[in-house]
Homo-oligomer: A and B are copies of this chain.
Amino acid sequence: MTSDFAATRAAFDLPEGIIYLDGNSLGPLPRAAAERVRACVQDEWGQMLITGWNRAGWMDLPARLGDRIGRLIGAAPGTVVLGDTLSIKVYQALASALELNPGRKVILSDTGNFPSDLYMADGLVRTLGQGYELRTVAPEAVEAAITPDLAVLMLTEVDYRTGRRHDMARLIARAHAAGVLVVWDLAHSAGAIPVDLAGADADFAVGCTYKYLNSGPGGPAFIYVAPRLADRVRPALSGWLGHEAPFAFDLGYRPGRGIERMRVGTPPVLQMAALSASLDIWDRVEMADVRARSIDLTEAFIRGVESACPALTLASPRDPAQRGSQVSFRHPEGYAIMQALIARGVIGDFRAPDILRFGFTPLYTTMDEVAGAVAVLSEVMEKTLWDQPQFKTRARVT
């Protein structure tokens, strides 16, 4: 299949006059999502009421949509399920991984991880007590820090600030050789780069759907558990929809089959309706094509900015193989520069202390937009428009 990116672009409802380079934070609205959500609200909830759980198939959506995400991350059908938020899924995966590796008490992560992952790990080890520990090292020191005392290695594959990418297959092999289980956060990977969880022999992975997967604000997270582990997991978050027979209402918990046991509570049906419309677009492309186009877009952006804006320092790896689908630059006045860009219709975002972050999302970002963004950034920098008072009034860290 050759992916048709003009067609996928046309499938999104993007505001006029905006160059949107923040789909790595919140993906835009798929045109079909509006009707899909309307139908879910009015035809399903409104007309079917409680019977929608069966008649409209709401109850099965976490597994069915999970399978469709699975295609994008190298996960076989029946190994991915939707639910909760990414932070909850991190906790769930970590708790499960720790229990599968008894006698070891250390979680290793890196300082480039998304803070919420570290917070959730901290909350878990504090709750467990008994010598459990979260250890963090610099991203480049991870491989050397994999030692046989570790229980779990927890990493975000693509750094949310810089786009720097870990070598998943290599780190998994290194970890497994030391008897360590690995939990991957795919927040900036799913839909951004090809991921091959099964091929890399991954243990656990989690991710969110509202970035590259365009499910809308607050869309649910997903979790993957390797089939060789799924039936051995005893969920810490043992909710009724992960029970073998939720509607038997037994007093005792019996985990459901495989990945089903990672379900917890009632899933967000309206949010899943929006996601289903986005996945229809994803069904029409191949990740290899998406990746090739992502590299074209990011390479062009880097070339343009480095040529036009010498005051900005590339914060992302120069080698495209080493980064995800975003490009970041550093500048001490990064916050004010981003405010000036946004005021001119180029939407990226700022990450403390000095990162200007731009996401490139091949389903809808065009090469013309890359050129347009470079031109606006260049104007802002040349004329130090960012130094004007209106872009300085808010606190630097928001």
- Chain A 68-89 interface 0/1 with B at a Cβ cutoff of 8 Å (1 = within): 0000000000000000111110
Contact present for A25 and B41 (CB under 8 Å): no
- Interface presence of A49 (CB below 8 A): yes
Contact A347 B50 (CB under 8 A): yes
Contact flag A265-B33 (CB < 8 Å), given A249-B115, A249-B352: no
Question: In the complex the two chains form, is B347's CB within 8 Å of A51's CB?
Answer: yes
Asked if A163 lies at the interface with its beta carbon under 8 angstroms from chain B, I say: no
Contact with B along A164-199 (1 / 0, CB 8 A): 000000000000000000000000000000000000
- Name A's B-contacting residues (CB within 8 A): 13, 15, 18, 20, 22, 25-26, 28-29, 33-34, 37-38, 41-42, 44-47, 49-53, 58, 84-88, 91, 95, 99, 111, 114-116, 118-120, 122-124, 126-130, 136, 208, 210, 216-221, 234-240, 243, 245, 247-253, 264-272, 274, 342, 347, 349, 351-352, 397-398
Closest residue of chain B to A56 (Cβ to Cβ) is B217
Q: How far, in angstroms, from A248 to B53 measured CA to CA in the complex? A: 40
A51 to B351, CA, bound (A): 15
Among B41, B124, B237, contact of A216 (Cβ-Cβ < 8 Å): B41
In the bound complex, CA of A267 to CA of B352 (Å): 23
Q: Are A29 and B53 in contact (CB under 8 A)?
A: no
Q: Tell me, rounded to whole Å, the shortest Cβ–Cβ distance linking A137 to chain B.
A: 12
Closest Cβ neighbor of A121 among chain B residues = B238
A286 to B245, CA, bound (A): 39
Q: Are A136 and B217 in contact (CB under 8 A)?
A: no
Q: List 10 A-B contacts (CB under 8 A).
A: A34-B38, A37-B41, A37-B270, A85-B264, A87-B239, A115-B240, A123-B235, A126-B236, A248-B397, A270-B270
The verdict on A49 contacting B26 (CB below 8 Å), with A266-B217, A269-B217 known, is yes
The smallest beta-carbon distance between A177 and chain B, in angstroms, is 28
A34 with B42: in contact, given A397-B247, A398-B247 (CB under 8 Å)? Answer: yes
Q: Give Cα A106 to B349, complex, Å.
A: 47
Min CB gap A43→B, angstroms: 10
Contact across chains for B119 and A270 when beta carbons are under 8 A apart: no
With known contacts A271-B270, A398-B247, A119–B46 Cβ distance under 8 A? no
A33's nearest neighbour on chain B, judged by CB, is B41
Residues of B close to A119: CB separation below 8 A: 238-240, 243, 253
Contact B126 A129 (CB under 8 A): no
Task: Contact check, A45 vs B265: say whether CB atoms are below 8 A apart.
Answer: no
Chain B residues closer than 8 Å to A25, beta-carbon distance: 50
Closest CB in chain B relative to A239 CB, distance in Å: 4
Point out the residue from B38, B127, B216, B347 that lies within 8 Å of A128, measured CB to CB. Answer: B127
Q: Say whether, besides A46-B28, A248-B397, A265-B116, A237 and B270 are in contact (CB < 8 Å).
A: no
Q: How far is the CA of A116 from the CA of B110 in the complex (A)?
A: 35
Per the bound structure, the CA–CA distance linking A238 and B85 in Å amounts to: 12
- Measured CB to CB, the closest approach of chain B to A227, in angstroms, equals 22
Min Cβ gap A108→B in Å is 14
Would A50 and B29 be within 8 Å (CB), given that A87-B237, A115-B249 are in contact?
no
